[in-house]
Each structure stands twice: as C-alpha cells, then as structure tokens.
Structure 1
Amino acid sequence: MSQEQTAPQPPPPSASPPSNITTTSADLPPPIITLPNCILRLIHPSDAPAIQRAADSPAVAKYMSYRFANPYTLEHAQQWVGFATAFKAPGTDILPSFAICDPATNTVLGGIGIKARDDVESNMYEVGYWIGEASWGKGIMTAALRAYVKWVFETFPAINRLEGVVFEGNEASGKVLKNAGFVYEGTRRKAAVKHGVVMDILVYGLLREECSLLN
C-alpha cells in the first residue's frame, strides 16, 4: 500500500542478483531528481544491503501488503532489486522504480515507483512508496513524492491520473499524499484483511491538471 510501496510481485529467488557485488559511489546510477533532502535514482544491485536494513522493520511493514515481507531479509531485497532493475513502464523502455537516497552518502533510504493499470484504466498509474523509520518525520517522503509525480506526468504524456491507496489507520501516508497534491476521493470499506484484521482502504487521486509543479 502507499505507505511507504505497493509493488508488483518480485521475481523468484532464481532471478535475484548475486550478493557479492562490490561497487563505489561513482559506479551508482546518476541522480534523476536532486532535492535538498534526498536524491532519486535508479536502483543498483549493490543497493540490496541498504534496502534490507531500511525495510526490515515491523513499523514499516505494518501498513504494507503481504508482498512487503517482515522480517525483510537480504534475499527479499535482492528479489526486489531484480524486479526493479528489469520492470519497464508498459510500452516503453523506461525504468520507473527509483531509490530514495541520502544526498550526502547516496545510501538508499526507501523506494518509490508506479504500478500500471490496464484495459480501460491504462491512462492511470498507482504510485507506491516506502521509507525506513530513521527517515520518518523529516519531510523526505513528501518531497520525493512531489518530485516523482511531476516526473511521471512529464515522462508519460498519456497518463492523466495517479492514484494512491492507504490502509485505514495510516494517517502519516495520507498526509504525505495530501501534501503532494493528492485529493481524498473515498473509502473502500472493509476492502483489506491483514493478519486477521479487517481494514478500510482510503483512495487518493491526482490529475495531471492538478499537479501544481507542472504549472
């Protein structure tokens, strides 16, 4: 869910990148978006340990789907890296899954990406994101989401709507969406069950013409 990322199912372990990759900061992908408190760039296989450290938290996983594992192991991180470095937006060669990184160290703090809809909803993407506990309350996620949705609208001219969905009780993520310009549109009542708890799902939307950063 949009807590922080609804993501398509990662590949099986056999598709995971090796864990013995060594790299330097100079080898990492260049920033696509540079902000005062974070940078957004493509994910690199060497990011897996940092992803694992940031994601391995019951608090981070609480409002995510089951696809976001808890505990979150290095193998889970490697599987996600394998997916994120291969998934392209439908009909393009564009990789839309980004790492949210510390601007000083280039270390991964979280992730952000889109999930494509199809058929009559092919003009819409669902946006998902997550960020480690150590980065909460610093405005990083809001800044990253605002910049990312601008990039999505500029990069994919056929997309006229983005959607974010949030589990009941996840006020922090709802605030992030609203601060990024998303509008609360309604509640899907009792639409989710996680660990036996029935929850509503709150739906937020952002239209191209509502994205203030495009104006």
Structure 2
Amino acid sequence: MLGGPRSPDTPSAPAVALRQWCADDLDDMVAAYRDPVLRRWTIAPVTSLAEARRWLDGAQRDWADGRRYTFAVLDEQADGRRLVGNVVLKGVTPQRPAPEVGYWTASWARGRGVASRAVTALSRWAFDRFPEVTRLDLLHQVDNVASCRVAQKCGFVFQETLPARPPFPLDGHRHALDAG
C-alpha cells in the first residue's frame, strides 16, 4: 500500500490507499468506464470484462518490466475499500528526462479530493523508489480544466503548452513537479 502522511480525513476529502490492480477490481473498472466524462479523456476505454482482463494482463507485464506502474486507488473510508480511481507512473527509463504521472477518477468519487491525494501519494512513491528521478510530468489537454486544478493542487507547476498530437485533437499542458 502506498500512502505516507495524510491530512485528516473528512467526508469531503476521504483518505485513499494505492495498491496494484487485481482481478477483483475489474467489475468496478468496467463500471467506472461507463462514465462518458472518463471516456472523453481516455485513449483506450475499457468497455467489457474481457477488455479489463487484457488491460490487467498488460498492466502486470508493464509492472514486471519496470516500464509502467499502475495502481488502483481505493477509498479507505468505504466499506470494503471501494475503487475510486487509477494512478500511473509511465516511462521510468534512462531515455526519458521525466516520467509522466497519469490518473483517472471514477464518477462516484469526483469532487472529494481523491485525484489530488492519489497523485500526491504516487509522486512521493516515485521519488522514493527511483532516486534518479528528479522531476515528474503531468500532461493534459488544454480544455481539461479539472486536470489543471489537480496538477496545481499537487504542486505541479505549469511549464508549457504542447502542440496537439494524435489521438488528442487539442493542444496540451505540461506541468512539472521537482523532487525535494
């Protein structure tokens, strides 16, 4: 479980726990992807249990290869620790100047600080686990105002506007968080 210091739990901003995805999470993942808002911002939405299983197999391979670290985000206050999102650290390689942080939040968990808590926990973990990493990037499309707010809340500083590139039709923002 990832974590670290947390602010006091409140009903409007519950504590979250991060752990590797497992087969027991897949029904909740498919349910989360039924949300049109989530599908709008996602390159490859998961629309069936078979797709979720393939996604999990890929996530486990990526973890074993050390290329990508994907975590299920759980609400620690919910009965049975309900799935509320996903965070991922992409591209931890010597060829990449800064790994990228990505995330999504299930519709039933939005507006409660879940994304910012999860991104903060992942960022701390990344800097602790990979001492050679001195910066993390968080990218989002320019019209994704919610992602811009999450980046700011987590201490990521706006760096630049990036030109649109497939599959994203609009320009993007790059925010960065330095270690230390």
Name the residue aligned to 1:41: 19
The separation in 2 between residues aligned to 1:41 and 1:193, in whole angstroms, is 29
Query: Does structure 1 retain, via aligned residues, the 8 Å contact 2:84–2:114?
Result: no
3-state DSSP class of the match of 2:160?
strand
Residue identity in the other structure for 1:112: V
Query: What residue number does 1:189 align with?
Result: 163
Is the partner of 1:88 in helix, strand or coil?
helix
1:88 pairs with 2:63: yes
Query: Is 1:111 the counterpart of 2:86 in the alignment?
Result: yes
Alpha-carbon RMSD: 2.2
AA at the equivalent of 2:179: R
> Of 187, 204, 207, which residue of structure 1 is paired with 2:178?
207
Q: State the SS of the aligned residue for 1:124.
A: coil
| 3-state SS, counterpart of residue 62 of structure 1 | helix
Structure 2: stretches of 5+ with no match in the other structure: none
User: How far apart are 1:115 and its partner, in Å?
Assistant: 1.0
- Which residue is 1:100 aligned to? 73
* Structure 2 counterparts to residues 31-180 of structure 1, below 5 A: 31-33=1-3, 36=9, 37=14, 38-65=16-43, 67-69=44-46, 72-88=47-63, 96-103=69-76, 104=78, 105-116=80-91, 118=93, 120-121=95-96, 123-180=97-154
- Once residues 90 and 157 of structure 1 are traced to their aligned partners in structure 2, the CA distance between those partners, rounded to angstroms, is 18
SS of 1:50 mapped into structure 2: helix
Deviation for aligned residue 1:101: 0.9
How far 1:106 moved relative to its partner?
Answer: 1.9
TM-fit CA distance, 1:79: 1.6
Question: Displacement, 1:192?
Answer: 4.3
Find the aligned partners of 1:157 and 1:47 in 2 and give their Cα distance: 30
User: What TM-score results when the alignment is normalised by the length of structure 2?
Assistant: 0.84
User: Do the aligned residues in 2 keep the contact of 1:40 with 1:99 (CA within 8 Å)?
Assistant: yes
**Counterpart residue type for residue 61 of structure 1:** R
Aligned positions, number:
170
| Distance (Å, rounded) in 2 between the aligned partners of 1:40 and 1:118 | 22
Decide whether aligned partners of structure 1 residues 119 and 153 sit closer, same or farther in structure 2, where only a CA change above 3 A counts: closer
Q: What amino acid is aligned across from residue 150 of structure 2 in structure 1?
A: V
Which runs of 5 or more residues in structure 1 are unaligned? Answer: 1-30, 210-215
- Given that 1:193 and 1:199 are in contact with CA atoms closer than 8 Å, whether structure 2 keeps it comes out as no
Q: Is contact 1:183–1:206 with CA below 8 Å preserved after alignment?
A: yes
Letter in 1 for 2:20: L
The amino acid across from 2:176 in the alignment is G
* % identity of equivalent residues: 25
Distance in structure 1 (CA, Å) of the matches to 2:48 and 2:148: 27
